[in-house]
Amino acid sequence: MTSLADYARGLPKAELHLHIEGTLEPELMFALARRNGVTLPYADVEAVRAAYRFEDLQSFLDLYYAGASVLRTAADFHDLTWAYLERAHADRVLHTEIFFDPQTHTDRGIPFATVLDGIHGALERGRRELGIGYRLILCFLRHLPEAAAEATLDAALPHLDRIDGFGLDSSERGHPPSKFARVFARARTLGRPVVAHAGEEGPPAYITEALDLLKVVRIDHGVRCVEDPALVARLARERMPLTVCPLSNVKLRVFPDLAAHNLLTLLRDGLCVTINSDDPAYFGGYVGDNFAAVAEALAPSRAELRQLADNSFEAAWLTAEERARCRQALADYDAAAT
């Protein structure tokens, strides 16, 4: 009899909330630092891991942006993305929709095209060699001015054939979605869906702003919606997907531990909850680890775990044919599970 955690880990799934810069494992960080002659403020891999004790989102972001300094060439971005795809494949990820933060790199003098060529080349290789479908989402950094996001959108225009959507990430508190209403309006005119981080550390009002002002098709995190019952009812009524990241929420102290996480409550309220890994190299687990940890801490039924995987296919930007294929893989897996 398969354990609940193994059943959860092995479910065919889509990952919808993954920052590619957040998949930089300390080993690769050191390898790239050596390759590029970058000096890191850590003696070794263990010292890096020891530094991963976070108080909140900002204390994590400070290390995350510092770590990204080793990424310089298209080969670096390729190797980073490829390492993630191999892990995702082992976790039965059939389709992944990943974020990248161009401003983290262009502000250091790395050309936009270098970043995109490396990431996109690896995603194409993953599609061919591993059968993993993908979408690529450009995120604007919300701690920077809206004018900087506008300049980033300008830089993206020649590459729109490789950009499938736009998002909003980085420091949430004090940077409401309304700050980016104009650039998101322009992004939407390009015919791409938009998403935003909201309600991770920020209040439920930020979720409402993301829905009404940015017109997002998914909310990234969104767990603080529970503080506004009318908002919870709306999210359920609209089947608005939440890309929830359980291990991230514990590491960044949104919840004291996994047993206190509200994702199962939200699922039972009828919300389209999905499970994702966010920044797995920093938070101690890839998407399979997140599924397994939820199974162990919250004791969902198998049907609920299957629903969480099915929600990931419902919320993904798939064609009807791709979605049907993913759902068939899920049905086959469930039928074969003992």
Annotated binding site: 17, 19, 197, 278-279
Query: DSSP code of 210?
Result: I
- Of 25-33, 273-281, 291-299, 305-313, the segment contacting Zn ion by CB under 5 A is 273-281
- Total residues found in the chain within this entry: 338
Binding to ligand ADE in span 61-80, by CB under 6 A = 64
User: Which member of 92, 175, 179, 197 binds ligand ADE (CB under 6 A)?
Assistant: 197
| Joined tokens for residue 120 | 């996109």
The residue assigned the tokens 């086959």 is 332
15 sits near ligand ADE (criterion: CB under 6 A) = no
- Is there a contact between 277 and 18 (Cβ–Cβ < 8 Å)? yes
| Joined tokens for residue 327 | 């759902």
Binding to ligand ADE in span 77-136, by CB under 6 A = none
Q: Which of 25, 97, 200, 209 is catalytic?
A: 200
What is d(CA 69, CA 77) in angstroms, rounded to the nearest whole number? 12
Q: Toward ligand ADE, which CB reaches closer, 97 or 169?
A: 169
169 sits near ligand ADE (criterion: CB under 6 A) = yes
What is d(CA 70, CA 52) in angstroms, rounded to the nearest whole number? 18
What is d(CA 245, CA 99) in angstroms, rounded to the nearest whole number? 14
19 sits near ligand ADE (criterion: CB under 6 A) = yes
21 sits near Zn ion (criterion: CB under 5 A) = no
Q: Toward ligand ADE, which CB reaches closer, 7 or 64?
A: 64
- Is there a contact between 54 and 253 (Cβ–Cβ < 8 Å)? yes
Amino acid of residue 80: L
22 sits near ligand ADE (criterion: CB under 6 A) = yes
The entry of Zn ion, ligand ADE, none that residue 118 binds, CB within 5 to 8 Å by partner kind: none
β-bridge partners, 172 = none
Please indicate whether residue 200 is annotated as part of the active site.
Answer: yes
290 sits near ligand ADE (criterion: CB under 6 A) = no
What is d(CA 165, CA 84) in angstroms, rounded to the nearest whole number? 20
| Joined tokens for residue 171 | 């420091």
Binding to ligand ADE in span 222-281, by CB under 6 A = 248, 278-279
User: Which member of 79, 200, 289, 310 binds ligand ADE (CB under 6 A)?
Assistant: 200
What is d(CA 66, CA 322) in angstroms, rounded to the nearest whole number? 38
278 sits near Zn ion (criterion: CB under 5 A) = yes
In the complex, which residues of this chain contact ligand ADE (CB under 6 A)? 19, 22, 57, 64, 169-170, 197, 200, 248, 278-279
Binding stretches for Zn ion (CB under 5 A): 278
